[in-house]
Structure formats: C-alpha cells, structure tokens
Structure 1
Amino acid sequence: MAPRTLRPRTALLMSLVLALLLGALAILVMFPAAQHLRSFQDGERVSATLHRDGSCMAGNCQVKFEVDGQPVVADLPVGSGGGKSSVGDRMIVRYQADDLQSAAREDDVEGGGAAVLALMSSGAAVFFLVLSVVGVVYGSRQRHQGP
C-alpha cells in the first residue's frame, strides 16, 4: 500500500492558510504587544520581585514593587520575557505613573520576545506565501506541458 500524499490543491490551500494565520498573528497580536512594551521606555524605573510566575510571554506573570511606600502588584504584558524566573527573583521594571496595573521588565522595553516572535511569524508567513506562489506556477507549467 503506497503512502498517502497530499493533493496539490490541498497542499496549496494549507500553505495559504498557514501564511494567513502567521501573518495575522504577527500583525494583530505580536506587533501591538511589542509596541505596548516599547511604551514603557520612558516609564519610572524601580526594583521589583516576581510575585506570580507562569507563561510571561502570554502575560501570566506579575511583579511586586513599591510606589511612595505602598506595595503594588502589576501584570507583565503579553510578550514579556522572564519565563525562567522564579517567584521572589529580583528584577528592574518600568511602569507608567498613571497606570500602576501594568509594568514591563527593563530588559523587555525594546520590544522583548514579542518583537522577535513578530519578526519570526512574519518571515514564516512570507515563506508560506512564496511557497504557495511557487506551487501555483509549477502546477500551471505541468498542466501546460501535458503528459
């Protein structure tokens, strides 16, 4: 029994869907997350401890720091690094004085992992788009040459 292979149209459709999904991930999620991290560049700088660890890239981490003697627990935004840190680890964060609910690790204010993931998913989207175009051109030439 011969192994099953994808039909050319199915492979083309899958490549186009992957290009669309990866492009949407980059444009709708990762680029805005990187911009949000960059918005902390001019924020107040303070020493903090990791209060809740988890998947920091998905925005599930919190840090604890003090502002004017008052303890503050703030979320690290989507795209943050620090996933290998443990609860209680010290780090430098930046926060906006008018919004104490969110802070960014100082290492991430250039865009962090979100910027890297945005570039990688954009590149992969372009790759699958080019792969689709090459498949269409190749299939078209095969049909025109005949058997």
Structure 2
Amino acid sequence: MSTGPGRSRRVRPAVVGTVAALALAPAYAVFLPAAWLRTEVRGAEPTAATFHAGTCLLGGCTVTYPHAGEQVTAGLPVGTRAGGHAEGDTVYVRAAPGEPERVALAADTGRGTVAALLAVPGGLTLLALAAGAVRVLRDRRPEGPAQTL
C-alpha cells in the first residue's frame, strides 16, 4: 500500500491515534463528570423531590426539592435511569454537599451505575486501540530478505 510521495509509513499510526483520541474526548468529558457526581453524593441524605420529565439519559430532566427553606430546581446528570417516572412523581435525590443544584437520583448512586458510566468511554477506548492494532498489523510489511530478480 502506498502512502503517497514523500510520506512516511510511521506518520499514519500517529494520525490515526490522534483522531481516535479527539473522537474519544467527548465521551470522557460527558461520562466521567456524571460518574464523579454520583460518587460524590453517595453519602448524602436522600430528600424527596418532584420529578419533571425530559430526556433523562441525555441529562434533560429536572427535579424540584426543598433545601434550606427554598425550592431548588436542579438538572439530573447524563445517564440518569428514570424509567417509569412521569411528570410530577415523587423521587428521592441526593445533593452534593454545599451545592444544592448538583443532584442525582438516590437509586442511581450505586457502584453498578458508576461502573456502567465508566464502561462506556473505557469500552470505546479499548475498541479504538484494537482497531488501531489491527490496522498496524495488517499494514506491516513482511520481514525477511528482499528477493532479487
């Protein structure tokens, strides 16, 4: 396979690796903060809240709950599993200490949920590494003495 005039075969894996890293960055930017929030609020006291519908897996649903004598409306993080909840349902949330607008559903703070959130970017990274390894191995020239004609 020709890489074109004047282009080294060693440049291609670096370019592919850079493109893969740039493609994976959004997954890490979305899923790591969502997982961190769930571990951060794990020890907080559950509070009853009113659920407001939206696209919860994409972070579009909210809850309203009382905090320090005021009603706080807070968005739920990406990956929230709110199946079966409808507008106006009572759910239990846990708030980050000192930040009442950072909440997660109390049922969503377990280790399994955090592991699932971390598995998405981790799995994508492993898939990208495997695809890169296959590509590099496939493009490798056979080693051995050159045949003279």
Distance in 1 (alpha carbons) for counterparts of 2:119 and 2:71: 36
What's the counterpart of residue 104 of structure 1? 104
Per-residue CA deviation, residues 67-113 of structure 1 (Å, 9 max, x unaligned), is 35543322212332215521112211112452222321011223675
Unaligned runs of 5+ in 1: 1-8
Q: CA 1:71/1:22 → structure 2, altered by over 3 Å: closer, same or farther?
A: same
What's the counterpart of residue 36 of structure 1? 37
Distance in 2 (alpha carbons) for counterparts of 1:61 and 1:120: 21
* Mean Cα deviation higher: 123-132 or 134-143: 134-143
Q: Do the aligned residues in 2 keep the contact of 1:78 with 1:114 (CA within 8 Å)? A: no
SS in 2 for 1:44: coil
Higher Cα Rg, which structure: 2
TM-score normalised by structure 2 residue count: 0.68
What's the counterpart of residue 49 of structure 2? 48
* Mean Cα deviation higher: 84-93 or 66-75: 66-75
Shift of residue 128 of structure 1? Answer: 2.2
Q: CA 1:58/1:114 → structure 2, altered by over 3 Å: closer, same or farther?
A: farther
Aligned length: 138
Distance in 2 (alpha carbons) for counterparts of 1:22 and 1:114: 22
Unaligned runs of 5+ in 2: 1-8
| Percent pairwise identity | 30
What's the counterpart of residue 76 of structure 1? 76
Q: CA 1:15/1:118 → structure 2, altered by over 3 Å: closer, same or farther?
A: farther
User: Once superposed, which parts of structure 1, at least 4 consecutive aligned residues long, lie more than 4 Å away?
Assistant: 12-18, 111-115, 142-146
Taking CA–CA contacts closer than 8 Å with sequence separation of 6 or more, which of the two structures ends up with the larger relative contact order? 1
- Give the partner amino acid of 1:30: F
Q: Quick check: which one's helix share is greater?
A: 1
What's the counterpart of residue 6 of structure 1? none
Aligned residues: CA RMSD: 3.5
What's the counterpart of residue 120 of structure 2? 120
